[in-house]
Amino acid sequence: MPDTASRPGMLVQEADRFSAEGDWTLPHYARLSAVAAKARAAEEIALDRLGALDTSGASVLVDLLGADRVQEIDRWAPALPPERRSMLKAVAKAREASPPPTEPRALPILGALAELGRRVEALGRQQLQLAGFIGLTLTSLLANLPRPWRWRITALVAHIQQTGLNAIPIVALLTFLVGAVVAFLGATVLRDFGATIYTVNLVTYSFLREFGVLLAAILLAGRTASAFTAQIGAMKANEELDALRAQGLSPMELLVLPRVLAMMISLPILTLVGMLSGMLGGALVCALALDISTTQFLAILQREIPLRHFLLGIGKAPVFAFIIAVIGCLEGFKAKASAQSVGEHTTSSVVQSIFMVILLDALAAMFFMEMGW
């Protein structure tokens, strides 16, 4: 047998067969695995010029020859040393005894739990970012309040018009229709008890405490928070934020504070409009369907509805406005320089704003109930 001690293992094609030559050992395993594929269809592989051999090389040969053919190696390769034939048989037997491992089948419930965990973790990170941005906004606001020469009055007025005045028609129409629906439902239920007169209390309580501020906040979350995110996200995509910082200007002072203050001024106004429009819709239904005149409606409102309900409802408006504006601005800053990212964060700002508004309203309702207000 020729000396092949220094030669790496290889397959050499000779007519209609292959010949295994050189060292089939661990240092050459990666190369042997790569070149062995071309001998898959070979009818015969000669082993008479095989150099050094260990179990790693033997495993490649077993894959090429097949376990059944290796078990008959004494018949077709009698010139191969007995110890090598024994090694090949042992490797073939071990490969048959241990089939290739299969990936464990994952239970669907485990995948669902893993996805739930990822979503909860993402929500936690999101809330931490929101808390940090709220702190940054409050710090910037407190730093600018004692410096009137740094106030952006023009931007503030423009955003009040955009977020408040331009939204009055849609808020008034929506709350008017919801007020009419609440009155219809209340009359339908209370008629069975002969208590249709309490429809007035139902409408006024619901709009003074909840519906007035909640509907206005949800409308602004969809209408204005998305606009804030899209505007700031587009500025970031166009590198306008970098240009502001390069000029020594603060994006918080120029972009965030005017929007936050405008929302905190606009939402209480829209809340008042929503309260009045909702009660007007309820009064119209009471007058047309329940024979409760507008004069009687106003008399019940003045006599039986305490002022604290109005104060509780209007007091939630600045808090909701602050949260909506901060979320809209934060998502704009988080957007990347692509149209897809701006769209994704715009959607995220609307969803987050509505979620936070409803969550805070529920917490406020439980707190007021425990306090007896």
Q: Can you tell me the distance from the alpha carbon of 366 to that of 372, in angstroms, rounded to the nearest whole number?
A: 10
Give pLDDT tens digits along the chain (373 positions): 444 445 776 767 666 667 777 777 777 777 777 766 666 545 567 776 777 777 777 777 777 777 777 777 777 777 777 777 778 778 877 766 666 556 666 677 888 888 899 989 988 888 898 899 999 999 988 988 888 888 888 889 999 998 888 999 999 999 999 999 999 988 888 888 888 888 888 899 999 988 999 999 999 998 898 999 998 888 888 888 888 888 888 888 888 999 999 999 999 999 999 999 999 999 999 888 888 888 888 998 888 888 888 999 999 999 999 999 999 999 888 888 778 888 888 998 999 999 999 999 999 989 988 888 8
pLDDT score recorded for residue 323: 94
Q: Can you tell me the distance from the alpha carbon of 274 to that of 176, in angstroms, rounded to the nearest whole number?
A: 8
pLDDT score recorded for residue 16: 64
Tokens of 234: 């587009």
SS3 content of the chain, % helix, strand, coil (to 5): 75, 5, 15
Q: Can you tell me the distance from the alpha carbon of 283 to that of 301, in angstroms, rounded to the nearest whole number?
A: 11
For 10, the 3-state DSSP assignment is strand
Q: Can you tell me the distance from the alpha carbon of 187 to that of 51, in angstroms, rounded to the nearest whole number?
A: 98
pLDDT score recorded for residue 316: 92
Strand partners, 278: none
pLDDT score recorded for residue 359: 92
pLDDT score recorded for residue 342: 85
pLDDT score recorded for residue 34: 72
Residue in 179, 244, 180 with CA at minimum distance from that of residue 206: 179
Residue in 48, 40, 62 with CA at minimum distance from that of residue 20: 48
Amino acid 193 reads F
Amino acid 79 reads A
Residue in 223, 325, 204, 212 with CA at minimum distance from that of residue 268: 212
pLDDT score recorded for residue 105: 67
* CA separation, residue 5 to residues 2, 52, 53, 87 (Å): 9, 7, 10, 19
